[in-house]
Structures are given as C-alpha cells and as structure tokens.
A and B are shown apart, each in its own frame.
Chain A
Amino acid sequence: MAIHVNLDRVLLDRDMTLTELADRVGIALPNLSILKTNKARAVRFSTLAALCRELGCQPGDLLEYRGEE
C-alpha cells in the first residue's frame, strides 16, 4: 500500500498503548490493530479526526506517502 500508517511511532512518542487509544477513540481494538499493521484499505475522516484529537497530532504525523512498494 502506498500510504503508510505511523501509528506505532506516535503511540510510542505519547507513551500510550493501543488498547488505551481504542478505548478513548471508541473504535474496536481489532480494527485499530488493522490500521496499525497497515492492513487497512481505507480510513474514515471521522476515525482520522478522533485519532488526531486523542493523540494531539496532525493527519500528516500519522499518514505517510511512500509510493508504490
């Protein structure tokens, strides 16, 4: 996938676990895990907004374009 999700790096910087983030954002842990492991095919804006709100970051901090791998 050309878009890479840097969720694990941001979580490490904020010293937060995936489970905590899932509880705060209100998304099921398996779905967040799909996002973290770059298996997701699409992300809703509402999900992206909730993640940025709880992590205190910008979408660009979470998403990175790496071209076709």
Chain B
Amino acid sequence: MNATVEGLQRRGLARGLKISLDVLFYLTLVVAVVMRVGALGISSFTDYEDGWEHNVPVAVGEGSFYAHLPVEAVHDAWPALEYTRISAAHGRLRFLHYSLPVHLGRSAIALLFTGLFLWGLTLLRRILATTAGGRPFDPINPRRLNALGWLVLASSALATLLDYMMSKWTLSRIEITTVPLSPPMEIHTEWILCGLLVLVLAAIWKEAVQMAEEQSLTV
C-alpha cells in the first residue's frame, strides 16, 4: 500500500509539471505567436513613421569569437579604472530603422525560434505525459530526449549563425564613422552545455528502458 501511495505521489509531481508545461506552451502560443503575427500585421502599417527597433551583436577591437557572457568590455589593466585600457569590447547595437523587409525578416526569425521553443516544449510535455501515466520508461522517451538535445544544439548554432549574418549584413549597409565595428561570432556556451546534458540523459534513459524491459520480463 505504501508503494502505491508513493507511486501516486511521484506521478502527481509529473502531472503537476506537465500542467505547468501545458500552461507555458499555450501561453507562448497565444502571446508569442498569435500576438506577434497580429502585431506584425498592424505594426507594419502603423509604426512605419516611428520606425522599428533593430539590434545586432557587434564587436570592436581584437578577436571575433566570444562566449556569450555578460561582459561588456575586455581590458588589460586592473584594478584601477583610471588605468584601464580597453582593447576590445562587444555588445549590441540598437537603432531605429524604416526598412519593412528588415522588420519582416526579424519577425520571421523570431517566429522561427518561437516555433523551435514550442517544439521542444511539446517533446517535454509528451515525456511527462507518459511519466504521469505510469510509463516513464516508454521506449519512445529516449528518442524524444535525443531529439530535444539535438534541437537545443541546432538552435544554438542557428542563433549564432543568424546573429552573425544579420550583423554582417547590417554593418555593411550603415555608416559608423566614429568607431570601427565588426560582426562577432557569439558562441552560446550555456545552450551547448544544455544540449549536451540532454543528449547524455537520453543515452542513460535508453539504458534504463532496457533495464526496465528486462525487469518486466523477470518472473
């Protein structure tokens, strides 16, 4: 009886998590997709006079590869700020523009990443659905985790590539006379680590499925 109660409690946790993910999924679907598409349609005509915000990663100085860290400048003098000499820096360049194709392009990219996020959420929800149903070692779950891991890694690579291409394209078209800016290749190390972690979990889960099957066929 205690094992049954414990089992129900564990499934309650999975069920609770699934409900949270369901809420997040539909909230993202409504807010990010529906409102963004609606806002895109409206803003394409109403905000034309004020312009749309464009922001791209930029770098100045040495090197063009950066891990995605919240560091705004790299300097080689420490600790007194008065003696700091900035040799390189990177950040984001934000400005208003009036190019509708650029506005539409950015919105399409944002929708693409929202779609990838929703896909990842769907995979997680399906894993939790089987767990809440008492079947955590369903043979399809390792495949779902594997897909999720590769999705995270691919999204990270895509984000890096698109940011670089957008930055390169933008900087080639605008004139900045004061500071020489270059497009950086920002590596999202936290996404890469997350993706690899999920792939490792998928491999472990696959072994667990084999062990569960072996155990279920032990009389």
**Chain A residues within 8 Å of B, Cβ to Cβ:** 27, 31-32, 34-35, 39-44, 47
Name the B residues within 8 Å of A41 (CB-CB): 214, 217-218
Does B219 belong to the interface (CB within 8 Å)? Answer: yes
CA–CA, A44 and B214, complex, Å: 13
Chain A-chain B contacts (Cβ-Cβ < 8 Å), number: 22
CA–CA, A27 and B217, complex, Å: 13
Size bin of chain B's contact surface: under 10
CA–CA, A69 and B214, complex, Å: 20
Q: Which residue of B lies closest to A5 (CB)?
A: B219
Name the contact of B217 in the complex, choosing from A32, A34, A44, A47 (C-beta under 8 A).
A34
Q: Which residue of A lies closest to B214 (CB)?
A: A41
Query: Can you report 22 A-B residue pairs in the complex whose CB atoms are below 8 A from each other?
Result: A27-B219, A31-B219, A32-B219, A34-B217, A34-B219, A35-B219, A39-B217, A40-B217, A40-B218, A40-B219, A41-B214, A41-B217, A41-B218, A42-B214, A42-B217, A42-B218, A42-B219, A43-B218, A43-B219, A44-B218, A44-B219, A47-B219
Q: Chain B's nearest CB lies how many Å from the CB of A50? A: 10
Q: Chain A's nearest CB lies how many Å from the CB of B211? A: 11
Name the A residues within 8 Å of B217 (CB-CB): 34, 39-42
For B53-66 the 0/1 string (1 means CB < 8 A from A) is 00000000000000
Q: Which residue of A lies closest to B213 (CB)?
A: A41
Q: Chain A's nearest CB lies how many Å from the CB of B215? A: 9
Name the A residues within 8 Å of B218 (CB-CB): 40-44
CA–CA, A35 and B218, complex, Å: 9
Name the B residues within 8 Å of A40 (CB-CB): 217-219
Q: Chain A's nearest CB lies how many Å from the CB of B143? A: 23
CA–CA, A32 and B219, complex, Å: 7
